[in-house]
Amino acid sequence: MDFSVRLEQLLEENNITQKQLAFDLHIASSTINGYIKNYREPDFGMLVRLAQYFTLTSTIPAQPGRHAANRHPSSYYRLAYRRRGQKSAR
């Protein structure tokens, strides 16, 4: 299956807009659009971020509630970038 088709499927299945995905990943919405229109390809790091994002969003209940697990996925989606000699943020 082509990446652009799969990404579009994931957006639809999870009821997420291109704009929301771009916001959550801190990238331009034109980048997401480029992936879907198949004139851009994500690098390996972006593929990892997308995989993590959709794994997290698919496990969070659709109904909002008081519990932390029911908050919007972007509140949990954090990538820890480590530089040489630094500890990762927790």
17-28 confidence digits (pLDDT tens): 999 999 999 999
Task: Please name the residue that has the structure tokens 């299945």.
Answer: 13
| Residue tagged 């999870």 (tokens) | 14
CB 73 within 8 A of CB 53: yes
Farthest-apart Cα atoms in the chain, separation:
41
In this prediction, residue 58 carries a pLDDT of: 54
Label residue 64 left, alpha or beta by phi (over 0 means left) and psi (-120 to 50 means alpha): beta
pLDDT in tens, 4-50: 999 999 999 999 999 999 999 999 999 999 999 999 999 999 998 99
Of 71, 22, 30, 15, residue with least CA distance to 50? 22
Cα 62 from Cα 49, distance rounded (Å): 21
